[in-house]
Amino acid sequence: MTGANWRIDHQCPQCGGPITLEETDRFFTCDYCRVRLHITSEGPFRYRLSPKQDLSELFHVPYWRFKGTAFAVAGTKIQHCLLDHTRIALSLRTLPFSLGVRPQALPLRFAAGDVSGGFTNPVLPLADVISGMEKQFEGLGVEAFSSDSPVKAYVGETASIIYAPFQIKGQTLQDAITPGRSYPMPPSLEELILSRNGDKSWSPQFLPALCPYCGWDLNGERDSCVFICNNCGRAWTPAPDGFKPVRLGAVPALNADATYIPFWRIKPVAHGIQLESYADLVRTANLPRVVQPQWESSPLAFWMPAFKITPQFFLRLGGLFTISPPEPIVYDDVKPRTLYPVTLPLVEAAKGLKLFFASLTVTKRHVVERLPHITIAPAESELILIPFVCRGNEFIYREHHVAIQKAALSHGRNF
């Protein structure tokens, strides 16, 4: 595990100029023609390792690439572990089961357009590949994968497919990236090639980054997954069929220099436990507070960081704002001057809801015992911007005495 990001060589769809993307890039401005586009795809992004020279009779073997943080409740603690692995997505035991470190050393291209050779869809679903990895780590004694954990979650994951090219030569498959490695021809290969997907319907889409409501340019950073329109104040998240609106609010800033840091505010729907009001949370988690009568009717919301950050900070920050929600929240005319980018999509944050609840209650044995029978899903969600002030190496939210170290932000973003 190196945590390195890959480079993807591509051409600007408008002017054809060469561009280099990182795998987390979802927004780019062309250096040549200045077009501003966002990048989306139906299903996982698919990339291809390029052979050094043009070869004929290529067959591309799909590998799942999975990167994310695994969290698990273990005893009275939350364990976590960073994963960054590739695994073959076909049941072909004669071929290498992983790509090793090669994708980090070599530039990738999108497996799109007129790339020649046979392609096949992955046969093994990602879920099977991940559970195989879990068993392997469990066997190695990694605590985040212990089989008796009542709650496990993967948060902030990137799952993509990398095609590795092999040249078909007689009865062997020869590695087209590393010469000299060859493998016996698998008996089912012909069938797989017959199912080749000639039109590559999975190709990524590059769409104009314009506000669907007012047509204004949307602003974002290269890894942003929510864009805010500076003209009408609406927020949008990319979806395969265009932008979807995101409900946006903010805690007003007293300081004009504030940096707004985004959080997902998610109202949960829970089964197996009473978790509707803030008072329910105070009682269940046994928070050191006296329940006020108005808390009985105040709906519970979990506050989860909407950005990638180290696992400890992810749970700690979310916990702080869930226990003490910042107030007031305004919904009109939200046009932050300085915004820290949203880099963790809502679906990713929501995957951690139950784990997050467990982190608030993990020392309460009576709750931990019930965790296997509890489900928590998102009901309503919105993006709330909280004003922090930049001081030295930290961002500080004075009202709650909360500090976020910049190093924890950059570590989370670059992993």
**Interface contacts to Zn ion, rule CB under 5 A:** 12, 14-15, 17, 30, 32-33, 211, 213-214, 216, 229, 231-232
Tokens of 132: 């195989």
Q: Supply the minimum distance, in Å, between the C-beta of residue 276 and Zn ion.
A: 35
Alpha helix (H) ranges present in 91-173? 102-105, 126-139
Nearer to Zn ion, 34 or 77 (CB): 34
Nearer to Zn ion, 105 or 330 (CB): 330
Cα separation, 188 vs 185, whole angstroms: 9
Q: Supply the minimum distance, in Å, between the C-beta of residue 215 and Zn ion.
A: 7
Nearer to Zn ion, 216 or 331 (CB): 216
282-to-64, 208, 287 alpha-carbon distances in Å = 42, 46, 5
Q: Which amino acid is at 380?
A: E
Q: Supply the minimum distance, in Å, between the C-beta of residue 381 and Zn ion.
A: 21
Give SS3 for 383.
strand
Cα separation, 381 vs 312, whole angstroms: 23
Nearer to Zn ion, 19 or 362 (CB): 19
Q: Supply the minimum distance, in Å, between the C-beta of residue 246 and Zn ion.
A: 13
Tokens of 224: 């942003």
Tokens of 175: 């590695």
Least Cα distance to 359 among 320, 305, 403 occurs for 320
Nearer to Zn ion, 97 or 216 (CB): 216
Cα separation, 79 vs 84, whole angstroms: 17
Q: Supply the minimum distance, in Å, between the C-beta of residue 219 and Zn ion.
A: 11
Provide φ and ψ at 67, rounded to 5°: -140, 130
Nearer to Zn ion, 13 or 150 (CB): 13
Instruction: Evaluate whether 158 touches 44 at the Cβ level (below 8 Å).
Output: no
Q: Supply the minimum distance, in Å, between the C-beta of residue 35 and Zn ion.
A: 5
